[in-house]
A and B are shown apart, each in its own frame.
Chain A
């Protein structure tokens, strides 16, 4: 099985010098679903930001899909970013309809309208949101918001999916629904890294669970 993510001796400090990540080693194989669990401010979001090439690494090596992100030019970083789907923490959709939210990303990436709508519909069907296509996205329930975030993340068929606190503010039943959805997407062959502060929903089925505490990884 080929390696999708390889982190070695990764360190990261905030602007005011606080150590956020300290000597992190982690590898994620292609097709794995890895859960990163840690309390608030343990460095989960920074870790996902680094993996998603949204945060510039400071010290250590980050290989994503075989590419060292510290050495990539801006253009190549953008190219890599297109192969990574991210659902940020507290995802806030655009003030558009559900369909337009997904189509916006695809249009911005260069797809024509028909092509974008076709891909958007496929992604929304996968997350079971086709009944809300014309609904204003900002009026969605928390569960549907996460579904929409997932649809936006997967609509261009990325190699890697990063989800930051997808279970936040969800009821136990909604968390289980998201777990089933993640499993369904995972079965399609996506590599996924899900960061959460826990507790984990009973239905969660991960390839591996990684604990992050005080910036250190405990597998």
Chain B
């Protein structure tokens, strides 16, 4: 283990400004790829269908279902926001227990029925509102976000592009790093150091890039999760996956290990460069 860390330390000292820039590029590209991976699972949760036991909407009123994560003070603020609208005649709040649902809801009566459609759309655009049912039966859903197949395919293509780019930039970065470590590799080979001692520190440098990218993803997802849950008014709240702690944890762990795996792959690609003649005396 001591030999591994000694050689790894020497390898890190061989990293110059240019190769460090390229390695940071690898971390950035990996992070972008992992970000797309996370988007796929955190933004792409399918919209939940309207519950079978949805409350009946009285004639001439609009049902405004609220997010279950809203606090009472946030519900109060929403209540006042809607009540103060010029096109709203009355607004009533019903508790989840009264409705037999997971979340509470407002029943809104418009000033005139002709403006119901516009009011329905306006209410559905308010953050913290997940479902709006108008008296005509038309519904508007503001969240959770549902990603279309096209967007999902786009995210997957983006991930593949990031993977390929990280391999290309990784190869360039390792070529640069190893150019500064060539003498050491040649000396080790000349003196009979086994490949299982020479190569692991090089692979570990790739793994380190993967760990950094994975850690950045975990931090970014944690921050977004905090923002989404702490500020229901924020646009992020519409991403249902971001407010579900279990899903956030799962995606973070999976993303981190995916980063480590991809970093290891880049490291192995870098280690394979040392098989060329320039790293061997008498080749």
Interface residues of A (CB under 8 A from B): 45-46, 48-49, 52, 54-55, 74-75, 78-86, 88, 92-95, 104-105, 107-110, 112-113, 152, 156
Q: How far is the CB of B268 from the nearest CB of chain A, in Å?
A: 18
Q: Are B188 and A45 in contact (CB-based, < 8 A)?
A: no
With A54-B282, A88-B281, A108-B197 as known contacts, state yes or no: A80 contacts B183, CB within 8 Å: no
Q: For B97, list chain A residues within 8 Å (CB).
A: none
Q: Which residues of A contact B192 (CB under 8 A)?
A: 78-84, 109
Known: A104-B10, A112-B2. A54 touches B190 (CB 8 A): yes
A88 touches B282 (CB 8 A): yes
Tell me the B residues contacting A by CB distance below 8 Å: 2-3, 6-7, 10, 183-184, 187-195, 197-198, 280-283
Is A86 within 8 A of B2, CB to CB? Answer: no
- Contact A74 B3, beta carbon cutoff 8 Å: no
Question: In the complex, are the beta carbons of A75 and B194 less than 8 A apart?
Answer: yes
* Distance (whole angstroms) from the CB of A206 to the closest CB of chain B: 23
Kindly state the separation between the CA atoms of A85 and B190 in the bound complex, as whole angstroms. Answer: 8
Q: Please, which residue of chain A has its CB at the minimum distance from the CB of B185?
A: A108
The CA-CA distance from A92 to B182 in the complex, in Å, is 11
Q: Is the Cβ of A105 less than 8 Å from the Cβ of B191?
A: yes
| Residue from B192, B195, B282 having most chain A Cβ neighbours under 10 A | B192
Q: How far is the CA of A93 from the CA of B190 in the complex (A)?
A: 13
Subset of 26 A-B contacts with CB under 8 Å: A46-B282, A48-B282, A52-B282, A54-B190, A54-B281, A74-B194, A74-B195, A78-B194, A78-B195, A81-B190, A84-B192, A85-B191, A86-B191, A88-B190, A92-B183, A94-B183, A105-B188, A105-B191, A107-B6, A108-B6, A108-B187, A108-B188, A108-B191, A109-B191, A112-B2, A152-B191
Q: Is A104's CB under 8 angstroms from B184's CB?
A: yes
The answer to whether A104 and B190 have CB atoms under 8 Å apart is no
Question: What's the minimum C-beta distance from A136 to chain B, rounded to whole angstroms?
Answer: 13
Query: What are the residues of chain B within 8 A of A108 when measuring CB–CB?
Result: 3, 6-7, 184, 187-188, 191, 193, 197-198
B195/A81 in contact, CB under 8 A: no
Which residues does chain B contribute within 8 Å of A80, judged by CB atoms? 192
Q: Tell me the nearest residue of chain B to A87, going by C-beta.
A: B190
Contact A152 B187 (CB under 8 A): yes
Q: Are B6 and A81 in contact (CB under 8 A)?
A: no
Cβ–Cβ contact B184 & A94, under 8 A: yes
For B7, list chain A residues within 8 Å (CB): 107-108
- Residues of chain B within 8 A of A55, CB atoms compared: 282-283
Residues on the B chain within 8 Å of A48, using CB:
282
CB distance from A149 to the nearest CB of B (A): 10
In the complex, which residues of chain B have a beta carbon less than 8 angstroms from the beta carbon of A109?
Answer: 191-193
B65 to chain A, nearest CB (A): 67
- By the criterion CB–CB under 8 Å, are B191 and A81 in contact? yes
Whether the pair B282, A104 counts as a contact (CB closer than 8 A) is no
Shortest C-beta distance, B259 to chain A (Å), equals: 30
Report yes or no: A78 in contact with B193, Cβ–Cβ below 8 A.
Answer: yes
Q: How far is the CA of A79 from the CA of B195 in the complex (A)?
A: 12
B187, closest chain A residue (CB): A105
Contacts of B191 in A (CB 8 A): 81-82, 85-86, 105, 108-109, 152, 156
B residues less than 8 Å from A107 (CB atoms): 3, 6-7
Enumerate chain B residues within 8 angstroms of A46, measured Cβ to Cβ.
282
Instruction: Name which of B10, B197, B282 has the most chain A CB atoms within 10 A of its CB.
Output: B282
Question: Which residues of the other chain, B, contact A105 by a CB distance below 8 angstroms?
Answer: 187-188, 191
Q: Are A54 and B280 in contact (CB under 8 A)?
A: yes
Residues of chain B within 8 A of A85, CB atoms compared: 191
Min C-beta distance of B187 to chain A, whole Å: 6
CB-CB under 8 A from A79, the residues of chain B are: 192
Q: For the complex formed, measure the closest distance between the CB of A62 and the CB atoms of chain B, giving whole angstroms.
A: 14
Complex Cα distance, B281 from A75, in Å, reads 18
Q: Which A residue's beta carbon lies closest to that of B184?
A: A94
Q: CA A176 – CA B23 in complex, angstroms? A: 49
Which chain A residue shows the least CB distance to B196?
A75
**Residues in B whose Cβ lies below 8 Å from that of A82:** 191-192
A146 to chain B, nearest CB (A): 16
Q: Which residues of chain A are within 8 angstroms of B184 by Cβ–Cβ distance?
A: 94, 104, 108
Contacts of B2 in A (CB 8 A): 112-113
- CB-defined contacts of A78 to chain B, threshold 8 Å: 192-195
Q: Which of B183, B193, B195, B282 contacts A49 (CB 8 A)?
A: B282
B135 to chain A, nearest CB (A): 80
Smallest CB gap from A105: residue in B: B191
A84 to B1, CA, bound (A): 25
| B residues near A45, Cβ cutoff 8 Å | 282
- Asked if residues B187 and A104 are in contact (CB atoms below 8 Å), the reply is yes
